[in-house]
């Protein structure tokens, strides 16, 4: 299994293999950090910290296990550390509430899962999802902008949402459990 | 309308008479509909689509490669048959430390292992700055944090605790930072913290100055 090959290379301490993990989880780590910190520069710092800390902790990582939840926990912690550091920077009050958490962190796990799911769908379908949900374009506007037939936009968008719903089905199972 | 079409329509925000009819008739989809709509809100959240810089991957790989190189140097330093290389590495590290800190530390404090880490001991060197305190931690006898845990260093004054950052393994000098002065927060200590949602202190102190 390719996943295990990647993970075994990382577990063996191969620094180049971290790039493979970044390719798979980098966007999701960035989303968690960006949601928590609301700043691109700080979020990217948190991403670097996440992968560095994960690599440092490789001795304790089991390559047979799914690394996603483990990486998510490290990413979340890295974002919280930076959030608290920045709060301390910005205040002169000595009575700092150190237990404070980024306000938008409560939905970070859902955001992580959704971003991973989006990264799993084909590029052409992802482009349509981006145009629909991020840019807020109608099917007609997408067809015009991408220069593809309206019917293709509709069928491909529908297929993308079906695929996404299927990938995210485990989330619904978790929620209803 | 089939269940997968209903789910796709909810995610796409294309609810109509057909979806309402299916939701009324299908108990499973009815149970999942609220979560599907919440997921649609997550998909529509602009944060999901925000891209990192194109060069971030390179920075991540470079940071890890740099650390790997430092570790390799540390391993080689321990091998007696390449003493010359080790000596050179010491010079490089010393030069690096000099270039990094330029000045001697403003303070140094020793820490002792607690019942949770009786073989551990360490020292912390500190440099006072306008924005806080930079510290270098040197620990021996402390195992790597178990899976799902990290070590966290704190500066404290009574019941007020300021985190200086987390780490998993401290087998070499580790740089940490706190946004406060040690004059106000004299106690320096390290706890073992689970990677969970509970932000309260675990109570598992592994190293402490006891100040």
Can you list the residues of chain B whose pLDDT is less than 70? 71-102, 171-172, 197-199, 210-211
Tokens representing B83 are 């003493």
B174 and B119 in one domain?
yes
Q: What is the reported pTM?
A: 0.61
Please write the tens of the pLDDT for every residue from B7-66.
Answer: 888 888 888 888 899 988 888 888 888 888 888 888 988 889 988 999 999 888 888 888
From the list B49, B147, B167, the residue facing A134 with the nearest CB is B49
Distance of CA B143 to the CA centre of its chain: 17
Closest of A145, A158, A10 to residue B64, by C-alpha: A10
B96 and B19 in one domain?
no
Right CATH for A1-106 from 3.30.750.24, 1.10.1740.10, 3.20.20.80, 3.90.870.10? 1.10.1740.10
d(CA A137, CA A131): 6
Quick one: fold of A121-177? Arc Repressor Mutant, subunit A (1.10.10)
From the list A55, A74, A88, the residue facing B180 with the nearest CB is A88
At A48, is the pLDDT very low, low, confident or very high (cuts 50, 70, 90)? very high
Q: Is the dihedral of CA A108, A6, A119, B22 positive or negative?
A: negative
- Of B101, B131, B163, the one marking the end of a domain is B101
B178 and B120 in one domain?
yes
From the list B48, B57, B67, the residue facing A31 with the nearest CB is B48
B115 and B94 in one domain?
no
B128 and B74 in one domain?
no
Cβ separation of A98 and B177 shorter than 8 Å?
Answer: no
Domain span at residue B64? 56-101
Tokens representing A73 are 């926990």
B192 and B149 in one domain?
yes
B71 and B23 in one domain?
no
For B38, name the nearest residue in chain A, comparing CA atoms only. Answer: A110
- Domain spans of chain A, in order of start: 1-106, 121-177
Please write the tens of the pLDDT for every residue from A15-32.
Answer: 667 888 899 999 999 999
B137 and B72 in one domain?
no
Beta-strand ranges (E) seen in B49-140 are 107-113, 121-128, 133-140
B111 and B88 in one domain?
no
B202 and B134 in one domain?
yes
Cβ separation of B38 and A110 shorter than 8 Å?
Answer: yes
Q: What is the largest CA-CA distance in chain B?
A: 80
B31 and B8 in one domain?
yes
Please write the tens of the pLDDT for every residue from A112-158.
Answer: 999 999 999 999 999 999 999 889 899 999 999 999 999 999 999 99
- How many domains, chain B? 3
B89 and B157 in one domain?
no
């Amino acid at each position: 299994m390719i996943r295990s090959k990647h993970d075994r290379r990382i577990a063996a301490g191969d620094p180049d293999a971290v790039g493979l993990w970044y390719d798979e989880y980098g966007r999701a780590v960035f989303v968690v950090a960006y949601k928590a910190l609301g700043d691109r520069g700080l979020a990217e710092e948190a991403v670097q910290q996440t992968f560095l800390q994960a690599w440092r902790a490789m001795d304790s990582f089991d390559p047979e296990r799914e690394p996603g939840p483990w990486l998510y926990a490290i990413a979340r912690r890295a974002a919280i550390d930076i959030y608290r550091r920045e709060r301390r920077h910005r205040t002169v009050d000595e009575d700092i509430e150190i237990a404070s958490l980024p306000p938008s962190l409560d939905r970070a796990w859902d955001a992580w899962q959704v971003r991973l799911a989006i990264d799993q769908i084909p590029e052409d379908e992802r482009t349509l999802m981006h145009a629909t949900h991020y840019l807020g374009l109608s099917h007609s506007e997408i067809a015009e902008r991408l220069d593809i037939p309206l019917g293709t936009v509709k069928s491909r968008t529908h297929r993308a949402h079906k695929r996404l719903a299927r990938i995210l089905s485990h989330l619904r199972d978790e929620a209803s459990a | 309308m089939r269940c997968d079409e209903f789910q796709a329509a909810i995610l796409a925000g294309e609810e109509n008479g057909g979806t309402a009819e299916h939701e009324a008739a299908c108990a499973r989809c009815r149970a999942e509909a609220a979560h599907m709509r919440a997921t649609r809100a997550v998909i529509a959240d602009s944060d999901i689509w925000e891209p990192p810089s194109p060069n971030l991957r390179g920075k991540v790989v470079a940071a890890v490669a740099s650390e790997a190189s430092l570790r390799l140097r540390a391993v080689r330093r321990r091998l007696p048959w390449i003493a010359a290389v080790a000596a050179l590495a010491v010079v490089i590290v010393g030069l690096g430390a000099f270039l990094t800190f330029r000045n001697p530390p403003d303070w140094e404090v020793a820490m002792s292992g607690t019942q949770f880490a009786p073989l551990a001991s360490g020292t912390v060197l500190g440099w006072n700055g306008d924005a806080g305190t930079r510290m270098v931690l040197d620990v021996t006898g402390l195992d790597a944090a178990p899976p799902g845990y990290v070590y966290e260093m704190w500066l404290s004054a009574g019941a007020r605790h300021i985190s200086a950052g987390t780490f998993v393994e401290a087998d070499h000098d580790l740089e940490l930072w706190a946004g406060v002065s040690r004059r106000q927060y004299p106690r320096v200590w390290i706890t073992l913290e689970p990677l969970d949602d509970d932000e309260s202190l675990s109570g598992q102190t592994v190293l402490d100055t006891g100040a």
